[in-house]
Chain A
Amino acid sequence: MDELLREFLTETSESLDVADAELVKFERDPNNREILNNIFRLVHTIKGTCGFIGLTRLAALAHAAETLMDKFREGMPVTPDAVSLVLVSIDRIKLLLAELEINEGVEPEGSDSDLIEQLLAMAALEIVAPPPPVPATVPVPAKPVGMGALVTQSLERELLPGEVPLDELERLFRQTEVEVPMKGASKQKLPAAPKPAALPAPVEEAAKTVPAKSSGKPILVKDDEHPSKKDEDGAHGTPVAAQSIRVSVGMLEHLMTMVSELVLTRNQLLEIARRNEDHDYKVSLQRLSNVTGELQDAIMRTRMQPIGNAWQKLPRIVRDLAQELGKHVELEMHGSETELDRQVLDQIKDPLTHMVRNSADHGLEMPEERRRLGKSEKGLIRLSAYHEGGFVIVKISDDGKGLDLARIKAKALENGLADEAELAKMSDGQIFRFIFAAGFSTAAKVTSVSGRGVGMDVVRSNIESIGGTVDVQSKAGSGSTFIIKIPLTLAIMPALIVEVSGDRFAIPQNAVLELVRVKADSEHAVRRLNDSPVLCLRNQLLPILHLGRLLGLVDSSVETTEAEFENRLIAVMHVGNESFGVVVDSVSHTEEIVVKPMSSVLRQVSLVSGSTILGDGHVIMIIDPNGLAQSVATTSEATAANVLASSVHADADADQVMSLLLFRAGSEDVRAVPLSLVTRLEELSQETIEKVDGRSVIQYRGKLIPILVANGAPAEKGVGTRPMLIFSHDAQVMGLAVDEIVDIVESQLDLEIASTSPQTVGGAIINGRATEVLDVGYFLSQAFSDDANHLSSKAEQPRLLLVDDSPFFRNLLQPVLKGKGYAVIACASAHEALERLAADNRFAAIVSDVEMPEMDGFSFAEAVRGKLGMTDVPIIAMAGSNPSLAIQRGRAAGFTDCVAKFDRPGLISALQEFTGSAQGEAA
């Protein structure tokens, strides 16, 4: 009984899934007899089996549904109400089945009379309206009566399972079978009827065998005449069984585990063979190896299931959703035969469903709006799947309104995921990706379907947990596409075995594009961009991750040097949308590894996704490519956030090599600007320049940004395009129109000559020629400060003493402070500053660097407080490397406040706090 019940449960739930999908099709195409017959048969089989194993409550419900379906077969018009009712009944059946499974074969208490009544009422009601003039109706009137009788009987005799229902069933089946040839006889009416009616069980395997057996059909009909046949399934079970059998998933899992072990053992043998050169068993081993490989493939294939299995429920879900939301939705599915590992399939079922729901709910517009926009009222959701490399790509696209960039931005700000400046630097794609962040929902109103802010992050983590990636593309007004990339299987994968600091790791090979050996003088050189190492590979610049450092195997406090990368191997990886290089010490070989899950206490270790046993018996860790990609993303985010920070910091150290962008603007002379200060390079079409309040502006990413030319004047409208550098600071974004981008070079920045004009920091030798270095701060202040600022008399401005040994930093900070309404006097050393103060102490505040040669900031502050006796003047320290330490020491030395050196807003607000509202005076 147990076995039987289990089989019944699996079979029935499969049948119901099919029924769901069929019903949705049926609603759209009520005249399709074939679909109708399919559904009828499904319900009928469920009813039959339920009766057979004594599940009276289920049988009664299925019967009522069947009665209504039968009416449809007789030509009763199919109303959406009726379909909904049948769907509700099917849902109830599912519910009962679920409880049945939990309660191990005991039907739950309760009655379905409400539904049964409705079903029967609908069946009885409408049969009167269109009387079906079909010869097949002759046995039919008898049938519902007979069945109705059965139902009441069974319901009353719940305690007597088996006996009575069996008898009744036999009779019923005979009736059904009689009905089939009868309908077949009326060929002019229903030519297709006998064929599907004679079909075997509605299980998938059965469906596959159908075409092959169409010739055997008459025999099957003859079979039907035998009264001994109890079950339609039984009649055709044998040929089906000959071609496919049902195997429990547990068995397959076990087989898979055994094969995994076999692969491991094979690997071990191969490892031994590698070490011992000549051996007799080499040939046998080779053979064993091949057989193991084939076996692995075959077992793998048994685990493969078409992705359509995960999609089966979707038509129904979309249909219900469309009704609920009042939208017209069409679901297209392509590539449902694409196969993937069932373990993977299970994992993506929910995410897929969620995403389709999302598309229907958020993506597609209401019909009226679609009409207004000139789209077809019916929204389209397209699902497609295909193989690519070792991956399955699943795309879910809709032709709706697309993601709302502005709203995502606003939400990202609100959730603190990024600030304005960061957002300004991001591409649309990066911004769209915020929807995968936790707690992120842009749905203005929460519907029962979506908009609760849980969802896409769960989708992402589900997909990432199986080594997949998810990305989104969107175009306003024409829809969005979600692209999921998932590995075919999780159990066994080819991996690159690498060594880092004496430890070996496995890197999944499908994430590795190529291996590159670093040579300083070759094209594969490691360069340093803003302190982060990058690999120059052909025309790409790839960020480099140092695996040893990431994993904490190398002391990360030790500075990276170019020499460290020399002659090392870099695995170039591509995960999601990130390409990056991973530095390893050596690569030993590739191996088919069997993935073993990490112990629960280690599962949270980032960057490691599992472990495996190598051929030599060692356990090694499997590096998680997604984890690596994430750390690339976070480092690049951090870099973006601290662009000013790190560059300023780096520049403060003398003789530091930095990247400079060389360009020409206004003259033949080459000018330079630190690359780290450039947010973006854009093409400026000069037609788009507009004038607002006397300034030249363009519309850039939904904002108006001022455009200047290299001498600080507003750019004029013109024709054609020219390159434009985008600078941004806080929420301020501006464009600098230039004539030509010359090059990007790495060079030391030694300012040889002091600046003579406000827009430059000074002159330097770059690439062997004199180059003006532009002062970005000047342009920013030029673009954003009011002219009044510059007109206000100096006497009214609070005076500020800026002490810093780095000319670059002095020149960078000065304009900013000036822009905020301070008169700035800069000193290059503490001694100079002390001299200055001794002569003239009318300063509103002193801003001093902490790390300076000869006399550092602390001694300077002590001298100001002590020797000069200036106890009231606020002294604000700018600490480079270790602000917290500086704060402690600084307080003791007499600093009023301490800000990080790169924290310009912090400095400004500290100044405002201690000097009173300087801005107010300036404005």
Chain B
Amino acid sequence: MSKTHSDAEKAAGVIQYVTVRIAGQLFGVPIEIVHEVFTPDRVTRVPLAPAEIQGVLNLRGRIVTMVNMRRLLGLTSTGETKTAVGIERHGEAFGLVIDEVGEVLVLESAKREANPANLDPRWAELVIGVHRLSNELMLVLDVERALSRLGARRTAA
């Protein structure tokens, strides 16, 4: 799904990103895949689940699987769930737990630069490029890959 989007955007030349902050680092998520931003409430932990899965919650009658992005990126989690970005993948609802949500940026896809070679391999798997903003760097999050990695890592675990 995200692939076709990115194809369409390439043609247009610009991509809209919702920026999110995880452990101080700015990340961008393509706006089309973001369904909503919500405050997670009453998350039920799932026993025996991989650590990146914070749990599940009921969002207006739908069961949403909450993914702790800090843990997915190999960072220590504060355990707090302040904000989450709701996305949908193959008909399933996911919530990416992040520290805070920022603004919407319109960026030229041509200006996206490749991952620096020394980027932590754990991060490099989830990031498809870097945008240089005026005062900091924004990493473009590949949500599809992040979630599929979740499934793959599960079987390994």
- Give the B-binding residues of A (Cβ under 8 A): 261, 264, 503, 551-553, 596, 599-602, 604-608, 611, 613, 617-621
Q: Confirm or deny: B45 has a beta carbon within 8 angstroms of a beta carbon on chain A.
A: yes
- Chain B contacts of A619 at CB under 8 A? 42, 44, 56-58, 63
* Cα–Cα, bound, A611→B94 (Å): 15
Which residue of chain A has the shortest Cβ distance to B148 in the bound complex?
Answer: A601
A114 → chain B closest CB, angstroms: 45
Quick check: B47 and A608 within 8 Å, CB to CB? yes
- Chain A contacts of B58 at CB under 8 A? 613, 617-619
Residues in B137-157 with C-beta less than 8 Å from chain A: 147, 150-151, 154-155
Quick check: A607 and B92 within 8 Å, CB to CB? no
Residues in B38-71 with C-beta less than 8 Å from chain A: 42, 44-50, 53, 56-58, 61, 63, 65
Q: Confirm or deny: B90 has a beta carbon within 8 angstroms of a beta carbon on chain A.
A: yes
User: Given contacts A602-B65, A611-B63, could you give 9 more A-B pairs where the C-beta distance is less than 8 Å?
Assistant: A261-B61, A601-B50, A601-B53, A601-B65, A601-B147, A606-B48, A613-B63, A618-B42, A621-B44
A552-B48, A605-B47 known; A600-B61 Cβ under 8 A: no
* Cα–Cα, bound, A551→B45 (Å): 11
- Chain A contacts of B154 at CB under 8 A? 601-602, 604
Quick check: A607 and B151 within 8 Å, CB to CB? no
A26 → chain B closest CB, angstroms: 46
Quick check: A611 and B56 within 8 Å, CB to CB? yes
- Give the A-binding residues of B (Cβ under 8 A): 42, 44-50, 53, 56-58, 61, 63, 65, 90, 92, 94, 147, 150-151, 154-155
Which residue of chain A has the shortest Cβ distance to B157 in the bound complex?
Answer: A604
* Cα–Cα, bound, A621→B105 (Å): 39
From B48, B151, B154, name the one whose CB has the most chain A CB atoms within 10 angstroms: B48
From A261, A608, A617, A619, name the one whose CB has the most chain B CB atoms within 10 angstroms: A619
27 A-B residue pairs with CB within 8 Å: A503-B44, A503-B45, A551-B47, A551-B48, A552-B48, A553-B47, A596-B63, A601-B53, A602-B46, A602-B53, A602-B56, A605-B46, A605-B47, A605-B49, A606-B48, A608-B46, A608-B48, A611-B63, A613-B58, A613-B61, A618-B42, A618-B44, A618-B58, A619-B57, A619-B58, A619-B63, A621-B44
Which residue of chain B has the shortest Cβ distance to A265 in the bound complex?
Answer: B61
Which residue of chain A has the shortest Cβ distance to B149 in the bound complex?
Answer: A601
* Cα–Cα, bound, A604→B92 (Å): 16
- Chain B contacts of A261 at CB under 8 A? 61
* Cα–Cα, bound, A167→B90 (Å): 49
B106 → chain A closest CB, angstroms: 32
* Cα–Cα, bound, A617→B58 (Å): 7
- Chain B contacts of A611 at CB under 8 A? 44, 56, 63
B91 → chain A closest CB, angstroms: 9
B51 → chain A closest CB, angstroms: 11
B156 → chain A closest CB, angstroms: 11
From A596, A599, A613, name the one whose CB has the most chain B CB atoms within 10 angstroms: A599
* Cα–Cα, bound, A131→B94 (Å): 74
* Cα–Cα, bound, A261→B63 (Å): 12
* The 4 nearest A-B residue pairs measured at CB: A551-B47, A599-B65, A619-B44, A601-B151
- Chain A contacts of B53 at CB under 8 A? 601-602
Which residue of chain B has the shortest Cβ distance to A604 in the bound complex?
Answer: B154
A547 → chain B closest CB, angstroms: 9
A262 → chain B closest CB, angstroms: 11
- Chain A contacts of B61 at CB under 8 A? 261, 264, 613
Which residue of chain A has the shortest Cβ distance to B61 in the bound complex?
Answer: A261
- Chain A contacts of B42 at CB under 8 A? 617-619
- Chain B contacts of A617 at CB under 8 A? 42, 58
* Cα–Cα, bound, A613→B63 (Å): 8
* Cα–Cα, bound, A611→B63 (Å): 8
* Cα–Cα, bound, A596→B63 (Å): 8
B90 → chain A closest CB, angstroms: 7
A31 → chain B closest CB, angstroms: 55
- Chain B contacts of A607 at CB under 8 A? 47-48
- Chain A contacts of B47 at CB under 8 A? 503, 551-553, 605, 607-608, 621
A608 → chain B closest CB, angstroms: 7
Which residue of chain A has the shortest Cβ distance to B155 in the bound complex?
Answer: A604
* Cα–Cα, bound, A877→B45 (Å): 44
- Chain B contacts of A264 at CB under 8 A? 61
B10 → chain A closest CB, angstroms: 28
* Cα–Cα, bound, A607→B46 (Å): 11
* Cα–Cα, bound, A264→B44 (Å): 18
- Chain A contacts of B45 at CB under 8 A? 503
* Cα–Cα, bound, A618→B47 (Å): 16
* Cα–Cα, bound, A596→B56 (Å): 12
* Cα–Cα, bound, A454→B94 (Å): 36
- Chain A contacts of B151 at CB under 8 A? 600-601
* Cα–Cα, bound, A601→B50 (Å): 9
Which residue of chain B has the shortest Cβ distance to A599 in the bound complex?
Answer: B65
B26 → chain A closest CB, angstroms: 26
- Chain B contacts of A618 at CB under 8 A? 42, 44, 58
A610 → chain B closest CB, angstroms: 9
B154 → chain A closest CB, angstroms: 6
Which residue of chain B has the shortest Cβ distance to A612 in the bound complex?
Answer: B63
Quick check: B63 and A599 within 8 Å, CB to CB? yes
B138 → chain A closest CB, angstroms: 26
A278 → chain B closest CB, angstroms: 28
Which residue of chain A has the shortest Cβ distance to B56 in the bound complex?
Answer: A619
* Cα–Cα, bound, A852→B46 (Å): 42
A600-B90, A600-B151, A617-B58 known; A605-B63 Cβ under 8 A: no
B87 → chain A closest CB, angstroms: 12
Quick check: A605 and B92 within 8 Å, CB to CB? no
* Cα–Cα, bound, A553→B45 (Å): 10
Quick check: B48 and A605 within 8 Å, CB to CB? yes
Quick check: B92 and A600 within 8 Å, CB to CB? yes
A264-B61, A599-B92 known; A620-B155 Cβ under 8 A: no
Quick check: B150 and A601 within 8 Å, CB to CB? yes
A828 → chain B closest CB, angstroms: 45
A212 → chain B closest CB, angstroms: 44
A80 → chain B closest CB, angstroms: 50
Which residue of chain B has the shortest Cβ distance to A623 in the bound complex?
Answer: B47
Quick check: A599 and B56 within 8 Å, CB to CB? yes
B142 → chain A closest CB, angstroms: 16
- Chain B contacts of A599 at CB under 8 A? 56, 63, 65, 92, 94
- Chain A contacts of B147 at CB under 8 A? 601
A104 → chain B closest CB, angstroms: 23
* Cα–Cα, bound, A606→B57 (Å): 20
* Cα–Cα, bound, A605→B157 (Å): 11
* Cα–Cα, bound, A619→B151 (Å): 21
- Chain B contacts of A503 at CB under 8 A? 44-45, 47
- Chain A contacts of B63 at CB under 8 A? 596, 599, 611, 613, 619
B114 → chain A closest CB, angstroms: 28
- Chain B contacts of A604 at CB under 8 A? 154-155
- Chain A contacts of B94 at CB under 8 A? 599
B53 → chain A closest CB, angstroms: 7
Which residue of chain B has the shortest Cβ distance to A621 in the bound complex?
Answer: B46
* Cα–Cα, bound, A88→B1 (Å): 44
Which residue of chain A has the shortest Cβ distance to B50 in the bound complex?
Answer: A601
* Cα–Cα, bound, A64→B151 (Å): 54
* Cα–Cα, bound, A621→B49 (Å): 12
- Chain A contacts of B90 at CB under 8 A? 600
- Chain A contacts of B57 at CB under 8 A? 619
B46 → chain A closest CB, angstroms: 6
A250 → chain B closest CB, angstroms: 15
Which residue of chain B has the shortest Cβ distance to A504 in the bound complex?
Answer: B44
A239 → chain B closest CB, angstroms: 42
* Cα–Cα, bound, A503→B154 (Å): 22
- Chain B contacts of A600 at CB under 8 A? 90, 92, 151
- Chain B contacts of A606 at CB under 8 A? 48
* Cα–Cα, bound, A913→B18 (Å): 68
B82 → chain A closest CB, angstroms: 19
- Chain A contacts of B49 at CB under 8 A? 602, 605
A176 → chain B closest CB, angstroms: 49
A187 → chain B closest CB, angstroms: 62
